[in-house]
Structure 1
Amino acid sequence: MTHNRRHQRRFAFQVIYSLVFGQKMSKDSLIKSFDNFWTEEEFDMERQDSYAWTLVEGVFDNYDSIDEIITQHSQHWKLNRIAKVELTILRLSLFEMLFCPDIPIKVAMNEAIELAKDFGDDNSKTFVNGVLDAAAKGAQRNEHKTIQSGNTES
C-alpha cells in the first residue's frame, strides 16, 4: 500500500503542478485534467476511489488556507517568488498534514522531501523541509486548528 500511495502521491503532484500554470480552474475542468492522465488500468481503481484524487481535490478545495500557512512559515518569501515545484510540494504535503489524520506528519514531510529530491533543484529539499518543519512546530503550538497536533511520530 505504501508503494501505491507513493505512486499516487507522485501522480497527484504532477496534476497539482499543472494547475499553477493555468487560469483559476473550476472543479469540472480539474476533473477533466485529472482524467486526461488517470488510467484505471495503471492504478487499478477509479478516480474517485483513489488517494491521488483525494490529494488533488483536497488541495484544490483548500488552496487558500494552505497558502496562508505557507506564507506564514516561508520566512520572507512571497508565494509568487517560491518556485512552482516547491510550492506544489508544500501544498500537497500541507494538505496531508492538515486534513489526512491517517498520515503521520513525519511521513508527509518525508514524502515531500522525496518529491523535492526527484523534481526540485539542489536547494528544494532544504527549503521544503524548513517550511514544513515550521508548520509542524506551529501545529504543536496550536497555531493551526486543522493540523493534527502532536501526530509527529512515524
Structure 2
Amino acid sequence: MSYKVYLSGEIHTDWRQQIIQGCESRGLDISFSSAVTVHEASDAAGDGLGAEDKQFWRDHKSAKVNAIRISNAIKNCDMAIVRFGDKYRQWNAAFDAGFCAALGKPYITLHDDCLIHALKEVDGAAQAWATTPEQVVEILEYLVSDS
C-alpha cells in the first residue's frame, strides 16, 4: 500500500528528515509533502504581489499564498504528521491539525511531554501522539505493511 504523508509544523529541527530517512531505510512506499520550510522564503511568498508598508499586509499576502500549497497538500494526503516544538509556538501547525480534523483526515501529533496540557484538544482529535520521529516511522510502517 502506498501512502501520501503531509509533514506539518516546526521547522527548526531535522524531524522531517529523520522520518523520511527512517521510512526510506525500511523500504516503505511513502511520499512526503510539506509547507515551505525555509522561514524567509515562506515569509516572502506574497512579495510578488507588491510591496507593503505594513508588516501585517505582507504577512497576510504570504499567508494566503502559502495556504494554497498547504490546503492542497492536506486535501491530497492520506494522513498528516503535525510537529510541535518547544522553542516557538506553532500556531500554523495547530491550524493544520484543525483543518485535518475538519476534513476527517487522520493525523499524528509529535511533541514532548511538556506540551501535553497546551495541546490536549489537538491531541484529543489525533489518531496518535508520538514523542519521537522513530515512533512515527514505526506507526507508518505498520500502516503500509501487508500483514
Q: Tell me the TM-score range normalised by the shorter chain.
A: 0.3 to 0.5
Structure 1 or 2: more helix by fraction: 1
**Which structure has more RCO (C-alpha within 8 Å, separation ≥ 6)?**
2
- Structure ID, larger Rg: 2
